[in-house]
Amino acid sequence: MDKVVTNAKQAIEGIESGMTLMIGGFGVCGLPENAIAALAETDVRDVTCISNNAGVGDFGLGLLLKDKRIKKMIASYVGENDEFERQMLSGELEVDLIPQGTLAERCRAAGAGIPAFFTPAGYGTEVAEGKEVRVFNGKPHILEQAFSADFALVKAWRGDRAGNLIFKGTARNFNPVMAMAGKITVAEVEELVDNTELDPNAIHTPGIFVQRIFQGEKYIKPIEQRTVRVRA
Amino acid sequence: MSLDKEGIAKRIAQDLRDGWYVNLGIGIPTLVANYVPDGIGVEFQSENGILGMGPFPYEGEEDPDMINAGKQTVTLLPGASLFDSAMSFAMIRGQHVQLTVLGAMEVSDTGDIANWKIPGAMVKGMGGAMDLVASAKNIIVAMMHTNKKGESKVLPKCTLPLTGVSCVNRIVSNLAVLDVTPDGFKLIERAPGVSVEEVRNATAGRLVIDGDIPEMAL
């Protein structure tokens, strides 16, 4: 199998206004930065984005936010982005904040053919409003539904032409579960290799979940909170 | 003398047990990692996908692909492992993580916690806090006993939107160690030099004082 496309522009072909997109990454770590930059070059708007965070000012989803092209954001934490705050408080942007584990599981469930599941997270809080509650083993749980996404944009460290992916460090985060969930999953990698090069034992995301793969032109990989210790 | 943030972290570290996996929230909880007692082996979990998280890197060794849940650059210790977000919360929901330490804006005397939203102000989101408090077997809250106006943060009932219900086991504040019991907060220890009276005055929720209350040994 060969799922290679030549560049980010070709990889995001078919993304239209009004679609629902999953964007991998935790903060700006493991973000599909080339695909997002290519999307920012199009005139696609009114998208619903499912992503743990909303990027920062001029990077990641910040690129779409600043032109008000995101209609709705589904995330667990959005504290890093001032423009996000402005649009949310003014009502220009619809926001659905959900617990981080529930966000991950709603992606995983979507990819695994599980339409809904019960979780204790959020019981008794406003997250549970309007949701079915059931008691299992004496503990109340709320019913959460799998997501549905037209496209998933993910980023890996290495990938092969068949779409097999290996992630590095904490850049893995939401990428594997979002890769499972997209109707079309676009994977960008730092290094694209031939199908003989990756050890099948070491694959994190099997190629079956990936429809298109490309090597990103360059990676900025910013650090949000650079923290170091002094050498003794 | 009430405790500073380091003192609160030091006291919480005394509650660590050998062999535990521990999730530390942002702020005071992060400092607990600096005071793990000798002879106690714990592994720190970061919900973005690390078990066996180590200290901050030396300058020049920061890796953008290696961050903690607070988005700070970190390192790994020998025996560490890395995984995706669904696996991470499977560990948390499945109660494989023995202790969660997190901050709070308010805690009620029935163990409810509020720490993610102030209506009318900017809402940053709950992150992993709701998953953590709904499932952890042991939840210790690290917090100041009162807010900047001097109002109690340990209450009969939370006034802010909840993060979780009936889940907090223990509070370690700048004034005291309180356990949540069916009768309300039970005073376990006082901070060095802090009187029972001071704790009583700063606690709005039900407070049980049983016998002589020892000072923390730090």
Q: Could you write out the DSSP letters of every residue in B48-83?
A: TTEEEE--PPBTT---TT-B-TTSBB--EEEEEEE-
**Does the pLDDT of residue B122 top 90, yes or no?**
no
Which pLDDT score, from 0 to 100, does residue A57 have? 82
Residue A198 structure tokens: 């990756």
pTM above threshold 0.80: yes
Per CB-CB distance under 8 Å, the chain A contacts of B88 are 101, 104
> Distances in Å between the alpha carbon of B55 and those of A49, B20, B28, B63?
33, 18, 15, 13
- Chain A from 91 to 120: CB within 8 A of any B CB: 95, 97-105, 107-108, 119-120
**Does A147 reach chain B within 8 Å, measured CB to CB?**
no
CB within 8 Å: B125 and A97: yes
CB within 8 Å: A170 and B48: yes
Alpha carbons B25 and A20: distance in angstroms, whole number: 31
Of B72, B129, B161, the CB nearest to A126: B161
Alpha carbons B173 and B147: distance in angstroms, whole number: 12
Per CB-CB distance under 8 Å, the chain A contacts of B164 are 123-125
Q: Which of B6, B43, B47, B59 is catalytic?
A: B47
Amino acid making up residue B44: F
**Does the pLDDT of residue A58 top 90, yes or no?**
no
CB within 8 Å: B89 and A104: yes
Q: Do A107 and A174 meet the contact criterion of CB atoms below 8 Å apart?
A: yes
Mean of the per-residue pLDDT values of chain B: 96
**Can B197 be counted among the known catalytic residues?**
no
**Does the pLDDT of residue A56 top 90, yes or no?**
no
Alpha carbons B10 and B214: distance in angstroms, whole number: 17
pLDDT digits (tens, 9 = 90+) for A174-186: 999 999 999 999 9
Which pLDDT score, from 0 to 100, does residue A83 have? 86
Alpha carbons A100 and B126: distance in angstroms, whole number: 8
> Distances in Å between the alpha carbon of A219 and those of A157, A164, A201, A222?
11, 20, 27, 9
**Does the pLDDT of residue A78 top 90, yes or no?**
no
Does this complex have an ipTM over 0.85? yes
Label residue B123 by pLDDT band (50, 70, 90): confident
- E runs forming strands in chain B: 21-24, 43-46, 50-53, 76-82, 99-102, 106-108, 113-114, 138-143, 154-155, 170-173, 176-181, 184-190, 207-208
Q: Is B202 exposed, middle or buried (0-12, 13-18, 19+ CB in 10 A)?
A: buried
